[in-house]
Structure 1
Amino acid sequence: MNARLILLFWLWPLSLFAQGFSGLGSNAGAEFSNPAPNPAFTFPADHGPHPDYRIEWWYLTATLQDDAGTHYGLQWTLFRTALAPGEAEGWNSPQIWFAHAAVTTPDAHLATERFARGGIGQAGVEASPFRAWIDDWALEGPDFETMSLRATGPDFAYVMELEAQGPLIFHGQYGYSVKSAEGQASYYYSQPFFDIEGTLTLPTGDIAVSGQAWLDREWSSQPLSETQEGWDWFSLSFDDGAKLMGFQLRQTDGSTFSSATWIEEDGTTTPYSDGAFTARALASTQVADRDVPTRWHVTLPDRGVNVTVDAMNPKAWMDLSIPYWEGPVTITGSHTGRGYLEMTGYE
């Protein structure tokens, strides 16, 4: 274990590592802020960090293709978590930063991570001009619509350019996204209309690729209920131009809580509350000594969605300090297309 990871274990609440993402259901304490209904977002400021909330992320996924027609997936995520609310200079900062980067090919999944302490310039986010960085990894640009992206790992790297082709999308009720029957919630919006192109550097060499990217922004202090143990999150882009974000949170009693957003090609949205969106596992893959669902039956009857979602590479396991499954998917059935799937809590 390297020195930076040892330091993180001392600084981070150990329960979060023990529980993985399900630790987001632990009580954050009254000192942290919590999301409230009817948010009034202020841009570009809200593209930046919110240090009075316990957890926050800038989460980008992309479906890519090269000139030969081979498909790839790409992930770049910067997380911020707080030991206490607020910010301070130097080592007095209570903010911890970590990041994940990954590339998925039809027969390989390459992933790596970085860690940093806030307050010392090693990682952070600036709203305008937009810059999110940790070490030499960065997502940055003059604004939130035009960006460059870079990351490096032991066995891969990428450099990309992104250009938004549509508006920001606000999930739930105007960006207030309820996550449980008990009322846990987050602030949640996306930019799902990025065109992306650039170069993947893989063990086989450099590959020019292009495709579509989806950037999620979310922050909260306790986004999950104490009775929730993980989630299945789908971002689906259909060939007819429409998009669907849907997730289900799995309860310890075997039930689920779901939410979805239907996105028209022009950016018009319709939110759907618990029960309207369904995701049922059809087949699993043995990966990292556990069974992980990698084929799903997904429905949103109000929009005629009745599709099968298949992992492009069922072995897309993020074997990192907090492990989870994340990778590109293909869509067949009533609608066709491509997308991304993230699954947590499969221990």
Structure 2
Amino acid sequence: MLLALAAGRAGAGDDVEPAGYPPVLPGYQLAFPRDGGAHPDFRTEWWYVTGWLEDAEGAQRGFQITFFRVRTRIGEDNPSRFAPTQLILAHAAVADPAHGRLLAAERAARALSPLAGVEQGRTHAWVDGWSLAWGDGHYRAQAADGAFSFDLRLRPDGPPMLNGEDGFSRKDADPAHASHYYSRPQLVVSGTLEVGGRRVEVAGSAWLDHEWSSGLMPPGAHGWDWIGINLHDGGALMAFRMRAEDGRPLWAAGTLRGQDGAAQALDEQAVHFSPSRHWRSPRTGARYPVAWRLEVTDGREGRARAFEIVPLMDDQELDSRRSTGAVYWEGAVRLLEGGREIGRGYLEMTGYAGRLRM
């Protein structure tokens, strides 16, 4: 799951499904490659890729690139191609322990070819030279900024993982707060990464989320906590919780995929997050729980499993106030079980530097 932060920039109100946008409804049958592309009638949509990279010297780094599409409902009766009916925003970042903090950049533009846009029918989003595209059996992710650049190919190892009820992902007991949501875990990565003027060949694993909605945040929600983990045995774990201002969980859910590819939906009784260590940002003053204990009830094995979530480094705060208007923590993490590393992925935490407005 990823940030629908950009929706707040469109000027619609919070916590309710805005008039004029189609609702997300159960029963919709996801189909590919069709649903890899854009769904421009919905209010907000995002394609989100995170992963771990390793170079020939064994140095490990995290990366992320995210594209947001926002339907503004501004100028929709204006025939001009310059009308800002759709916005395209993007974030990219590299987590490099050698630098001690996240290297991040952002882009924003109205959807106007060739500068920025999205395609329907297949995954392709781009803005100001950054892009994410599907073709020839793999994704290609490209981004460049002054501090870093990457050009990566990401090859799936199997079909998409549908989250929730066949891709209908509730964020609240009220089904009005939901999204269509699928993941592509265990992407095999190869390509190049440049940091500080030094370019290296890299390989690793990544995770792609694609989600779209018209009304995501339930009443009283301040933000959310989310993980997407590629398990070393070939499985995958996604879990999230919607959170009140005082930290109380309002809703939780997830998906656990076994090494055989079979996935089970995790309901709110099967997912429990507990912070175990905090870090305070020296820039924003936000206090983030950067380490966690996560308990998941594995229905296939009939037992509760206890995990630890440990960050690659503490300072992975991303300040995107120039594009989506939010500050959040988005970082590479390890997943431990019984003190042993069993997977790697990303942790996302929103609403700690102020309420997330949708």
Amino acid at match of 2:101: A
| Counterpart selection for 1:73 from 25, 49, 62 | 62
Report the alpha carbon displacement of residue 253 of structure 1 after superposing the two structures with TM: 5.7
Please say if residues 199 and 207 of structure 1, whose CA atoms lie closer than 8 Å, have aligned partners that are also in contact: yes
What CA distance in whole angstroms lies between the structure 2 residues aligned with 1:34 and 1:315?
A: 37
| Counterpart selection for 1:280 from 274, 277, 300 | 274
| Counterpart selection for 1:26 from 4, 11, 15 | 15
Instruction: State the SS of the aligned residue for 2:82.
Output: helix
Partner of 1:297: 293
Aligned CA distance change for structure 1 residues 239 and 120 (closer, same or farther; 3 Å): closer
Aligned CA distance change for structure 1 residues 149 and 254 (closer, same or farther; 3 Å): closer
| Counterpart selection for 2:91 from 81, 100, 103 | 100
Please say if residues 244 and 261 of structure 1, whose CA atoms lie closer than 8 Å, have aligned partners that are also in contact: yes
Report the alpha carbon displacement of residue 148 of structure 1 after superposing the two structures with TM: 1.7
- Report whether the alignment pairs 1:341 with 2:334: no
Report the alpha carbon displacement of residue 226 of structure 1 after superposing the two structures with TM: 2.3
Q: Any residues of structure 2 matched to 1:19-168 within 5 Å, and which? A: 25-84=14-73, 90-106=81-97, 107-127=100-120, 130-142=123-135, 145-168=137-160
Aligned CA distance change for structure 1 residues 99 and 312 (closer, same or farther; 3 Å): same
Partner of 1:188: 181
- Report whether the alignment pairs 1:12 with 2:5: no
Instruction: State the SS of the aligned residue for 2:108.
Output: strand
- Report whether the alignment pairs 1:259 with 2:253: yes
What CA distance in whole angstroms lies between the structure 2 residues aligned with 1:151 and 1:46?
A: 24
Amino acid at match of 2:296: L
Report the alpha carbon displacement of residue 89 of structure 1 after superposing the two structures with TM: 5.6
Q: TM-score under structure 1 normalisation?
A: 0.89
Which structure is higher in RCO with an 8 Å CA cutoff and minimum separation 6? 2
Please say if residues 162 and 197 of structure 1, whose CA atoms lie closer than 8 Å, have aligned partners that are also in contact: yes
Q: Is the helix fraction higher in 1 or 2?
A: 1
What CA distance in whole angstroms lies between the structure 2 residues aligned with 1:222 and 1:58?
A: 17
What CA distance in whole angstroms lies between the structure 2 residues aligned with 1:324 and 1:111?
A: 12
What CA distance in whole angstroms lies between the structure 2 residues aligned with 1:265 and 1:90?
A: 47
* 1:273-318 CA-partner distances (Å, limit 9, x unpaired): 1121111100001113121111100111325421111111110010
Question: Where does the alignment leave 5 or more consecutive residues of structure 2 unmatched?
Answer: 1-5, 354-358
What CA distance in whole angstroms lies between the structure 1 residues aligned with 2:48 and 2:345?
A: 14
Aligned CA distance change for structure 1 residues 193 and 239 (closer, same or farther; 3 Å): closer
- Report whether the alignment pairs 1:324 with 2:315: no
Report the alpha carbon displacement of residue 131 of structure 1 after superposing the two structures with TM: 2.2
Please say if residues 235 and 257 of structure 2, whose CA atoms lie closer than 8 Å, have aligned partners that are also in contact: yes
Amino acid at match of 2:62: G
| 4+ runs deviating over 6 angstroms | 85-88
What CA distance in whole angstroms lies between the structure 2 residues aligned with 1:262 and 1:77?
A: 23
- Report whether the alignment pairs 1:306 with 2:300: no
What CA distance in whole angstroms lies between the structure 1 residues aligned with 2:254 and 2:169?
A: 10
Instruction: State the SS of the aligned residue for 1:61.
Output: strand
Q: Any residues of structure 2 matched to 1:232-243 within 5 Å, and which? A: 232-243=225-236
| Counterpart selection for 1:178 from 125, 148, 170 | 170
What CA distance in whole angstroms lies between the structure 1 residues aligned with 2:165 and 2:216?
A: 15
Report the alpha carbon displacement of residue 207 of structure 1 after superposing the two structures with TM: 2.2
Please say if residues 57 and 218 of structure 1, whose CA atoms lie closer than 8 Å, have aligned partners that are also in contact: yes
Aligned CA distance change for structure 1 residues 214 and 344 (closer, same or farther; 3 Å): same
Instruction: State the SS of the aligned residue for 1:336.
Output: strand
Question: Where does the alignment leave 5 or more consecutive residues of structure 1 unmatched?
Answer: 1-8, 16-22
Please say if residues 35 and 187 of structure 1, whose CA atoms lie closer than 8 Å, have aligned partners that are also in contact: yes
Please say if residues 151 and 192 of structure 2, whose CA atoms lie closer than 8 Å, have aligned partners that are also in contact: yes
